[in-house]
């Protein structure tokens, strides 16, 4: 039969740090590990602690072994690598270059960038496809701004007709501003009604 695995004897400083962690830590995983160490120090077995916390005895033993080897530092979360960032330095550099250049200079039939167009252009260059929202966030983080297209209907109007109507409008506006001068002469008319009945 294997011997019971318990937490080793704690130094005075480790005891203080453990109590401090239990009181102030906001990370639930750190608090749980500190509780495991405390309960093991009180003589609880891995099976008993596991049943209290709803964990496996193997996980409890792993925490105890790490604490016995590394001390209080073992209670903190280890760095988790996670998935590497999709947007590389090369991607950001190409994004900056693209925003500063005109799409027509790069062989496109349009003259303004949109998020979707930038996304497609960079996907062709880097083979990295980003979601438009993530691309927008990436641009904000790197202080990259592109000019949004301004839609105008000026090219659809007839210049001669536009100028005539503009002149007429100015004329009408000026006419409203002119106030009539009060007249000094007064005219009064008296009308007499004559009855034709006998």
Q: Is the domain of 21 the same as that of 54?
A: yes
pLDDT score, position 152: 65
Residue 26, domain extent: 12-75
Whether residue 167 is contained in a domain is answered as no
Whether residue 27 is contained in a domain is answered as yes
pLDDT digits (tens, 9 = 90+) for 94-110: 999 998 888 888 888 88
pLDDT score, position 148: 60
Residue predicted with more confidence, 42 or 147: 42
Whether residue 180 is contained in a domain is answered as no
Whether residue 149 is contained in a domain is answered as no
Q: Output the 3-class SS for the chain.
A: CCCCCCCCCCCHHHHHHHHHHHHHCCCHHHHHHHHHHHHHHCCCCHHHHHHHHCCCHHHHHHHHHHHHHHHHHHHCCCCCCCCCCCCCHHHHHHHHHHHHCCHHHHCCCCCCCCHHHHHHHHHHHHCCCCCHHHHHHHHHHCCCCCCCCCCCCHHHCCHHHHHHHHHHHHHHHHHHHCCCCCCCCCCCCCCCCCCCCC
Determine the average pLDDT of the residues in 17-21: 89
Domain count, the chain: 2
From 42-46, 129-133, 177-181, the region with the lowest mean pLDDT = 177-181
Q: Is the domain of 16 the same as that of 69?
A: yes
Whether residue 69 is contained in a domain is answered as yes
Of 53, 75, 97, at which residue does a domain stop?
75
Q: Is the domain of 71 the same as that of 95?
A: no
pTM exceeds cut of 0.85: no
Whether residue 130 is contained in a domain is answered as yes
Whether residue 157 is contained in a domain is answered as no
């Amino acid at each position: 039969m294997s011997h019971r695995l318990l937490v080793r004897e704690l130094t005075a400083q480790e005891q203080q740090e453990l109590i401090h962690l239990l009181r102030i830590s906001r990370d639930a995983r750190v608090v749980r590990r500190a509780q495991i160490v405390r309960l093991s120090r009180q003589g609880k077995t891995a099976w008993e602690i596991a049943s209290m916390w709803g964990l496996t005895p193997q996980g409890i033993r792993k925490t105890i072994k790490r604490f016995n080897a590394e001390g209080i530092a073992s209670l903190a979360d280890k760095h988790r690598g996670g998935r590497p960032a999709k947007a590389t330095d090369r991607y950001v550099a190409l994004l900056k270059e693209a925003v500063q250049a005109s799409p027509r200079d790069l062989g496109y039939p349009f003259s303004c960038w949109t998020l979707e167009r930038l996304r497609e252009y960079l996907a062709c260059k880097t083979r990295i496809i980003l979601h438009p929202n993530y691309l927008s966030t990436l641009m904000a983080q790197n202080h990259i701004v592109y000019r949004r297209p301004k839609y105008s209907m000026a090219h659809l109007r007839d210049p001669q007709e536009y100028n005539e109507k503009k002149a007429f409008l100015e004329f009408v506006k000026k006419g409203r501003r002119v106030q009539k001068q009060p007249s000094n002469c007064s005219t009064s008319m008296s009308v007499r009604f004559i009855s034709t009945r006998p």
